[in-house]
């Protein structure tokens, strides 16, 4: 990968609330003159690869889909759908609520005691055996209370965290030795976790919580590093990533613009004190019209805060989540003029711009959200988040974070991603 150069601005304390690119109710006055074609999108994206392979970078998530298209166990069905697309990078959830997240047509074992045991369950083993070269696992310790680090990471909890992370990493390094696979273990959106943890907490306790999170993340990293030392990395790798989700634009901060979130940002308070292999941004503030290119500046800010003393040096960024829900483009004033009435096309245009912004920032991975939609509409004719148990969602009930709809049809973004993977294969065969 080519070396990235980032301008680092001396930012101390600043307010945390974002200035929207367009105010509520304002019409979108700018945008593309014509609709983007898949062929043009592929050409533009491939021009930014500079010798890298898109299959090494671009992945897709599979978790908690509100529908299934086959009668196969749901974890396996979604993974096969991602593989059929052509992706070699797959992101999965690896939590104690696996039965809920991958429930369709599945018979999971009960009371799996820890992360190592979860990795040994038949469904996960079946997916890990598929021809993905990178599996990103959104991982939380099993059997520990929520936000156990909030009042400081106790010695007892620190040992439990280390043991689970070490045993999982050791298992992956030995079980999949020689396969060429990479496993990336990561947390979920640290800023959202902190927001919920501190919702009713006295501000005098906030510093303790931020330090507790830092100690938790560094303990996981230390466990992965110990497993790599003990087991070696012969034809296999296990990495650890730290994910945040509220990150300002480095350009906006330099210009004195405010970015308020009500609590200090994890990227400022925790990231600089950690020592992780990778630093991930879950980006849900950059898909609306006019905001897509801002992803580059947010990744720059994360890079300016992330330590560069790990195994990848300064090349340690990933885009852990990016997506664009089609329902967000339904209102005339929330869509580009050329895409009025074409929400799938608008999402494709936005996602293409984010892919290109991430490539310009030099990310190691970027992972799309997701293969099947996991979310339902709020308000309007489908109020509420739930459906009766066992009832699958229809397309009209979903928000449109998908590559494949409930009827099996595919959105333009699917065609874009597939064309990128196919172009890489064609080039390799020349």
Domains and CATH numbers, the chain: 53-428 (3.20.20.80)
What CA–CA distances, in Å, run from 96 to 127, 172, 210, 217, 364? 18, 18, 24, 19, 28
What does the alpha-carbon distance between residue 314 and residue 320 come to, in Å, rounded to a whole number? 17
Q: Give pLDDT, residue 23.
A: 35
What does the alpha-carbon distance between residue 285 and residue 214 come to, in Å, rounded to a whole number? 24
Residue 346 host element (H or E): helix 343-361
Strands annotated E in 292-344: 317-322
Q: Kindly give the pairing relationship between strand 181-186 and strand 236-244.
A: parallel
What average pLDDT does the segment 70-78 reach?
Answer: 98
Contact of 298 with 248, CB cutoff 8 Å: yes
Runs of H (alpha helix) within 320-411: 343-361
What does the alpha-carbon distance between residue 288 and residue 336 come to, in Å, rounded to a whole number? 10
What does the alpha-carbon distance between residue 342 and residue 405 come to, in Å, rounded to a whole number? 15
Whether pLDDT at 229 is above 80:
yes
- Return the top range by mean pLDDT from 4-8, 219-223, 258-262, 374-378: 219-223
What average pLDDT does the segment 87-108 reach?
Answer: 97
Q: Give pLDDT, residue 389.
A: 85
Residue 62 host element (H or E): strand 58-62
Comparing 163 with 387, which gets the higher pLDDT? Answer: 163
**In this structure, what token pair is assigned to residue 309?**
């003393």
What does the alpha-carbon distance between residue 27 and residue 148 come to, in Å, rounded to a whole number? 45
Range with the poorest average pLDDT among 8-22, 30-44, 55-69, 407-421 = 8-22
Q: Give pLDDT, residue 29.
A: 53
Q: Kindly give the pairing relationship between strand 278-283 and strand 181-186.
A: unpaired
What CA–CA distances, in Å, run from 353 to 22, 28, 358, 360? 18, 17, 9, 11
Contact of 186 with 137, CB cutoff 8 Å: yes
Whether pLDDT at 2 is above 50:
no
As a whole-number percent, the residues of the chain with pLDDT over 70 amount to 92
């Amino acid at each position: 990968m080519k070396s990235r150069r980032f301008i680092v601005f001396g930012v101390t304390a600043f307010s945390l609330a974002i200035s929207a690119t367009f105010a509520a109710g304002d019409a979108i006055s700018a945008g593309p003159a014509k609709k983007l074609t898949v062929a043009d999108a592929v050409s533009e994206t491939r021009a930014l690869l500079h010798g890298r392979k898109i299959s090494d970078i671009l992945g897709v998530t599979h978790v908690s889909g509100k529908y299934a298209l086959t009668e196969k166990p749901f974890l396996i069905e979604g993974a096969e759908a991602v593989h059929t697309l052509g992706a070699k990078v797959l992101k999965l959830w690896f939590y104690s609520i696996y039965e809920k997240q991958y429930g369709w047509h599945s018979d999971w074992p009960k009371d799996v005691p820890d992360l190592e045991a979860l990795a040994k369950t038949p469904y996960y083993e079946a997916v890990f055996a598929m021809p993905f070269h990178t599996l990103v696992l959104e991982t939380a310790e099993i059997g520990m209370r929520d936000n156990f680090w909030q009042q400081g990471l106790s010695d007892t909890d620190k040992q439990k965290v280390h043991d689970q992370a070490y045993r999982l990493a050791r298992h992956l390094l030995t079980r999949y030795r020689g396969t060429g696979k990479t496993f990336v273990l990561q947390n979920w959106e640290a800023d959202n976790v902190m927001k919920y943890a501190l919702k009713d907490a006295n501000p005098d306790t906030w510093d303790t919580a931020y330090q507790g999170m830092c100690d938790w993340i560094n303990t996981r990293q230390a466990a992965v590093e110990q497993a790599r030392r003990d087991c070696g990395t012969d034809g296999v790798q296990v990495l650890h990533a730290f994910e945040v989700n509220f990150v300002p634009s480095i350009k906006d901060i330099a210009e004195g613009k405010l970015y308020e979130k009500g609590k200090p940002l994890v990227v400022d308070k925790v990231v600089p004190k950690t020592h992780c292999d990778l630093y991930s941004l879950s980006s849900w503030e950059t898909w609306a019209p006019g905001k897509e290119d801002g992803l580059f500046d947010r990744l720059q800010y994360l890079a300016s805060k992330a330590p560069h003393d790990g195994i990848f040096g300064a090349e340690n960024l990933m885009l852990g989540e990016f997506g664009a829900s089609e329902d967000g483009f339904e209102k005339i004033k929330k869509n580009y003029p050329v895409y009025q009435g074409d929400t799938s096309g608008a999402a494709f245009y936005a996602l293409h711009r984010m892919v290109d912004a991430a490539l310009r920032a030099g990310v190691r991975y970027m992972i799309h959200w997701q293969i099947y939609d996991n979310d339902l509409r709020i308000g309007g004719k489908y109020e509420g988040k739930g459906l009766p148990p066992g009832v699958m969602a229809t397309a009209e009930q979903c928000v449109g974070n998908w590559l494949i709809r409930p009827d099996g049809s595919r959105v333009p973004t699917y065609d874009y991603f597939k064309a990128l993977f196919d172009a890489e294969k064609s080039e390799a065969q020349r």
